[in-house]
């Protein structure tokens, strides 16, 4: 082959190689940019970055220390003597707080699970003996968010509104929907003064 044509042929090959390289390089750049964007989407957020949460939980309101709307206000003696008379009815009762207990919990015929409920006990009228026949159950949520229950003490006078949901064992089992400490055991302070800081 004549040297001049041989050089031209070699030059054409080099040009083709150069064009192919440029085309391949351009394709790879586009692929890299697209994949970097995809990778960024899957990367964890850096610790310092703040993410807005449109579904952030609202502040939980305290349950007020009050009982309202009592249409059936009955005595403890009436309730314990004839629980069937009040079955599935909403009633209000007054009594003296004794303690938190497990009396109303985990009994299958009148089931209120201890992982969801707490139980409280009142004293028998005019005694310091707990009224075990009356089973009072309150949801943990109500107890935890009630403004007064964290400070309730033995011998506090309470008003309770709730519904008798069972008469198993011939005894009243009652869901507590509202509870109010109407008079503190310490007579030197009023209930409003005791719990004013919670308002």
What is the residue range of 12's domain? 1-44
| Residues near 13 by beta carbon (within 8 Å), at least 6 away in sequence | none
Q: Is residue 66 part of a domain?
A: no
Q: Domain count of the chain? A: 2
Domain identity same for 125 and 165: yes
Dihedral pair phi/psi, residue 183, rounded to 5°: -155, 125
Q: Is residue 65 part of a domain?
A: no
Domain identity same for 9 and 103: no
Q: Is residue 61 part of a domain?
A: no
Q: Is residue 64 part of a domain?
A: no
Provide the pLDDT for residue 17.
Answer: 60
- Going from the C-alpha of 197 to that of each of 13, 14, 149, 178, the distances in angstroms are 89, 87, 13, 20
Domain identity same for 91 and 157: yes
Residue 159 three-state SS: strand
- Mean per-residue pLDDT, 66-71: 91
Q: Is residue 68 part of a domain?
A: no
Q: Is residue 52 part of a domain?
A: no
Tens of pLDDT along 9-68?
566 665 566 556 554 555 545 544 454 455 444 444 444 544 445 444 566 688 899 999
Q: Give the global pTM.
A: 0.65
| CATH number of the domain to which 191 belongs | 2.40.50.140
């Amino acid at each position: 082959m004549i040297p001049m044509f041989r050089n031209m042929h070699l030059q054409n090959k080099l040009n083709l190689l150069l064009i192919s390289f440029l085309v391949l390089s351009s394709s790879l750049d586009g692929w890299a940019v697209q994949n970097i964007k995809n990778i960024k989407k899957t990367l964890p957020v850096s610790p310092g970055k703040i993410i807005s949460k449109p579904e952030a939980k609202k502040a939980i309101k305290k349950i007020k220390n009050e009982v309202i709307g009592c249409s059936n206000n009955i005595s403890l003696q009436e309730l314990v003597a004839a629980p069937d008379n009040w079955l599935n009815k909403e009633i209000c009762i007054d009594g003296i707080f004794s303690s938190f207990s497990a009396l109303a919990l985990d009994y299958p015929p009148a089931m209120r699970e201890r992982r969801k409920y707490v139980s409280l006990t009142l004293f028998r009228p005019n005694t310091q003996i707990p009224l075990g026949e009356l089973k009072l159950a309150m949801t943990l949520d109500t107890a935890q968010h009630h403004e007064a229950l964290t400070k309730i003490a033995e011998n506090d006078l309470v008003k309770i509104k709730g519904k008798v949901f069972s008469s198993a064992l011939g005894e009243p089992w009652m869901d507590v929907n509202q509870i109010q400490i109407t008079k503190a055991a310490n007579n030197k302070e009023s209930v409003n003064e005791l719990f004013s800081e919670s308002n």
